[in-house]
Amino acid sequence: MSAPLVRGWCPGAHRPMMSGDGLVVRVKPRLGQLTADQALTLAQLSKSHGNGMIDVTSRANLQVRGVSEASHPRLLAALIDAGLVDADPEMDARRAIVAAPGWSGGDQTDRLGTALEARLGDLPAMPAKIGHVIDTGPARILDGVSGDFRLESGESGLILRADGALRGRPVTEDEAVDALIEMAWWFVETGGRESGRMKRHIASVELPSGWTCADPGPVAPRLDVGPHGGSLSVGVAFGQLRADDLSALCASGCSTLDVTPWRMIVLNDATQAYDKLIESHSHVLITTPGNPVLASHACPGAPLCPQGTVETRDMARRLAFQVPPGLHVSGCAKGCAHPDPAPLTVVGCDGLYDVVRDGRASDVPEARGLTRAQVLERFGA
Ligand code: SF4
């Protein structure tokens, strides 16, 4: 078996990555939110310039898949026109901001996001994976979501917290972005580019005194699928939906859609009775809490990923109802969809499947070289 290839580069709209099904064009909706019109436009563009498949990423972004090199310039121009991509490639690359879903125009999330976006040019050049989090509601819902520079609610007001630090720096709203820029310059001037991420960096370099004196506020319960107040949260199996699924979400009558980092899209102002209709529309969209597919992980596998040698997602759908929650089906030992241990991991290897218990995709399997039928039979699926 050949070792999996590790790439240290994030695809963007201006600089897409080639995958097994064509170019992957990443779209970063502003603070994770699209209007229903923007979502419909994206769905149409995905069909006209891509293969109609759209990823929902762990950074609350969307990715148009299957784009050819010839159609990329036209897609990019249309995305810029729709206000979904910055015309300036550098600013688009720097606009890596995950915001707590449910924000609305003029609230603190919107104000902080606007202020940060206006100052992106004042940030130093940083590694591609660096990102920001805005999580200033009564309780922090983005705890555990990747983001190096974090504006959060503290026990007694707004704080700026370096990812990996237990405590943060108290700031006023007016000071927040200046303080974040100061922290970003401290990061690069103390060798952060070599560390790559803030959490790794502060494991060996101490933050300035005064930047770790305020406790973060409480953590909110994880968002679940289903109706919440005036919104409806819809799970996306394995983080990939079709253009028609996205159009169906817009038909719920929602005003805006919040893309979350948890393979979930929140439909704001959706007609509540729409949940069953959405779930019946597609085996991809999930509105029933506790559906085991939502707790399962599966990368695109073969043939979408050149390194995958087996089909993954149909296998995961069939196994999810038969095995403990947290199933992981991986196209190869790299384990992109879930780098952590899982109760059961099924891993592709040279066109057949290995089975790992309580481990990662790269761990020693308890069974090797099974056919698809043998795996399904082994777990009664
Ligand atoms: S784990 Fe899946 S997505 Fe990652 S390289 Fe392997 S086949 Fe591709």
The answer to whether 17-90 and 296-379 have equal CATH topology is no
Q: How far is the CA of 301 from the centre of ligand 1 (A)?
A: 6
**Distance (Å, whole) CA 214 – CA 170:** 6
Burial class (CB in 10 A: 0-12, 13-18, 19+), 341: middle
344's CB contacts (< 8 A; 6+ apart) are: 319, 323, 324, 326, 327, 328, 355, 356, 357
Q: What residues contact residue 377 under an 8 Å CB cut-off, 6+ apart? A: none
Distance between CA atoms of 243 and 270, rounded to whole angstroms? Answer: 19
- Please answer whether residues 201 and 195 qualify as being in contact, where contact means their C-beta atoms are separated by less than 8 angstroms: yes
Q: How far is the CA of 103 from the centre of ligand 1 (A)?
A: 34
| Beta pairing class for 157-162 and 231-236 | unpaired
The β-bridge partners of 355 are 346, 367
Give the separation between CA 314 and CA 164, rounded to whole angstroms. 37
Residue nearest atom 2 of ligand 1, based on CA coordinates: 331
Query: How do the pLDDT tens digits run along the chain, 381 residues long?
Result: 334 344 445 678 999 998 878 999 999 999 999 999 999 999 999 999 999 999 999 999 999 999 999 999 999 999 999 999 999 999 999 999 999 999 999 999 999 999 999 999 999 999 999 999 999 999 999 999 999 999 999 999 999 999 999 999 999 999 999 999 999 999 999 999 999 999 999 999 999 999 999 999 999 998 999 888 889 999 999 999 999 999 999 988 899 999 999 999 999 998 656 777 777 777 899 988 889 999 999 998 998 888 999 999 999 999 999 999 999 999 999 999 999 999 999 999 999 999 999 999 999 999 999 999 999 999 998
Q: Tokens for 238, please give them.
A: 């394995």
- Nearest atom in ligand 1 to the alpha carbon of residue 308 is 7
For domain 17-90, the CATH class is alpha beta
CA pair distance 91, 190, nearest whole angstrom: 24
Amino acid of residue 207: L
pLDDT value, residue 143: 96
Tell me the best of 297, 332, 362 to mutate to test the pocket of ligand 1, counting ligand atoms within 8 Å of each CB and taking the most. 332
Q: Which ligand 1 atom is the nearest neighbour of the CA of 337?
A: 1
Dist. CA 5 → ligand 1 center (Å)? 9
Residue 162 CA, ligand 1 centroid: distance in Å: 30
Return the DSSP state at 72: H
Report, in angstroms and rounded to the nearest whole number, the Rg of the chain calculated over CA atoms: 21
Distance 238 CA to ligand 1 centre (A): 13
Contact call for residues 205 and 189 (beta carbons, < 8 A)? no
Q: CA–CA separation, 374 vs 308, rounded Å?
A: 19
> What is the structure's pLDDT at 367?
97
Q: Which amino acid belongs to residue 289?
A: P
Q: What is the pLDDT at residue 229? A: 82
Q: What is the pLDDT of residue 273?
A: 66
Q: Which residues line ligand 1 (CB under 6 A)?
A: 4, 299-301, 305, 307-308, 330-332, 334-336
Q: Per DSSP, what are the bridge partners of residue 241? A: 54
pTM: 0.89
Give the pLDDT of residue 279: 75
* CATH label, 296-379, candidates 3.30.413.10, 1.25.40.10, 3.40.640.10, 3.40.710.10: 3.30.413.10
For 268, the enclosing helix (H) or strand (E) is strand 264-268
Closest residue CA from atom 6 of ligand 1: 332
The domain spans of the chain are 17-90, 102-211, 226-284, 296-379
Report the separation in Å between the CA atom of 189 and the middle of ligand 1, taken as the mean of its atom positions: 35
pLDDT for the residue 227: 87
Distance 156 CA to ligand 1 centre (A): 44
Which token pair is 91?
């600013």
